[in-house]
Amino acid sequence: MGKIENYPSVAVVGAGAVGCYFGGMLARSGVRVKLIGRASHVEAIRREGLLLDGLHVHERIPIPATTSMQEGLRGAGVVLFCVKSVSTESAAREMKPFLPPDAALFSFQNGVDNPDRIHAAIQAYSIPTAVYVAAEMTAPHCVTHTGRGDLIIGHHAGWPRTPDLAPLAAMFEQAGIPCKLSDNIAADLWAKMVMNCAYNALSALTRSQYGRMVRSEPVRAFGVRVIQETVAVARAEGAALDEQAMVDAAFRLAEKMTLATSSMAQDLARGRATEIDSLNGYVVRRGRALGIDTPSSELLVAMLQLLEQSVLNRPAD
């Protein structure tokens, strides 16, 4: 599969910032890519191309885009499922009638349980993926990339170990997307979950970039408590994470993604529902079920949900 012409065609379901960044990187390397997204994005990309405004790339990329699952998924050998966690089941059910039976389906989503939710909804086995990227749609046709852009992929424990992930990792690597193969993807997803829980809600609540957050000693200390709680839940779920290693990794992440604001902050700025339920909310629910106290996480969930109600003009529960 080493030659570009031998790579499968790729469909991106949910072509927002994450989908457009990785879809754009693949397309500029010569891989056939089709974006499936919102009408406003699709119309602009059809008219002007996808502008990839990155740390190392500033390029306008001609790339097919559609609002139709049927059209976008036709003939796809790889599907990048990039929808927000709040839409996992509904988007999966919309995708199901058109999903090619042999397509490699990747869950490019935040949280640890999306592959299980996809399977419960449509009985499809997806490839769990830990996605590390700071990207934002700064115009309907423009994705701005401010940090990282790498993947960790691996087979879900207990599921069929197909397809072969090595050539798919090679496809990403050829496109300038570092991609690591994992033999314990559940632990990698929990490690990513720790980062999400440490930064996403706090960035949204404070409207701050990661670098500014960690320079505030009180916010930094609060973030450490959130990390400690998340690691405790992860360990109880069987993911052998080291607490200090996770704290160190979180601070390194802020150094690499100083200018990043969280996807949760971006959602609120656009008046959209956040993924709080699948991130800190999931930790709180699992903590209660496992007998683990998560007071800092509970506070974040309560404050973010209240802010979300205000932004979306929803009545309080």
pLDDT at position 6 is 77
Residue 80 near residue 168, CB atoms below 8 Å: no
Tokens (6 digits) for 209: 């970039």
Q: What is the mean pLDDT of each run of 10 residues along the chain (317 residues)?
A: 74 97 97 96 96 93 97 98 97 98 97 98 98 94 94 97 97 97 97 96 95 95 98 97 97 89 92 95 98 98 95 73
| Per-residue three-class SS string for 121-181 | HHCCCCEEEEEEEEEEEEECCEEEEEEEEEEEECCCCCCCCCCCHHHHHHHHHHCCCCEEE
Q: Which residues of 203-224 are buried (b: 16+ CB within 10 A; e: fewer)?
A: bbbeebbbebbbeeeebbebbb
DSSP 8-class letter at 112: S
pLDDT at position 315 is 65
pLDDT at position 55 is 87
Look-up of token digits 């991106």: 12
User: Could you give all domains of the chain from N- to C-terminal order, each with its CATH number?
Assistant: 4-183 (3.40.50.720), 187-312 (1.10.1040.10)
* pTM, entire model: 0.93
pLDDT at position 147 is 87
Helix (H) or strand (E) segment spanning residue 194: helix 185-206
Give the closest residue to 127 by CA, choosing from 153, 90, 157, 109: 153
pLDDT at position 19 is 97
pLDDT at position 160 is 96
Residue 36 Cα distances to 13, 28, 242, angstroms? 5, 17, 39
Residue 215 Cα distances to 53, 119, 312, angstroms? 27, 41, 30
* Dihedral-angle region of residue 212 (phi above 0 means left; psi in -120 to 50 means alpha; beta otherwise): alpha
